[in-house]
Copies of this chain bind each other. A is one copy, B any other.
Amino acid sequence: MHRDRFYTLAASCPDRTGIIARVTGFFAEHRGWILESSFHSDEEARRYFMRLEIRADSLPFMLAELRDRFRPVADELQMDWKITDSAVKKRVVILVSKQEHCLYDLLARWQARELDIEIPCVISNHDTFKGFVEWHGIPFHHVPVTAENKPKACAEMLRLIDETRADTIVLARYMQILAPAVCAAYPGQILNIHHSFLPSFVGAKPYHQAYQRGVKLIGATCHYVTEELDQGPIVEQDVIRIDHSDSPDDMVRYGKDIEKTVLARGLRYHLEDRVLAHGNKTVVFR
Contacts and interface: CB of A to CB of B under 8 A. Distances in A.
Interface in A173-224: 197-201, 213-217, 219
Contact of A253 (B114, B238, B245, B282): B114
A107 B103 CA distance: 12
B18 A22 contact: no
- Using C-beta atoms within 8 Å of the partner chain, give the interface range for chain A: 35 or more
A197, A245, A280, most chain B CB atoms within 10 A? A245
Interface SS of A by simple majority? mixed
Contacts of A117: none
Contacts of A284: 216, 243-244
A56 to B, nearest CB: 14
A115 to B, nearest CB: 10
Given A108-B104, A238-B217, A244-B40, A21 B17 contact: no
A20 interface: yes
Contact of A243 (B112, B213, B219, B286): B286
Contacts of A256: 114
Given A99-B112, A199-B200, A241-B241, 6 more contacts: A21-B25, A21-B28, A24-B25, A100-B108, A198-B200, A217-B239
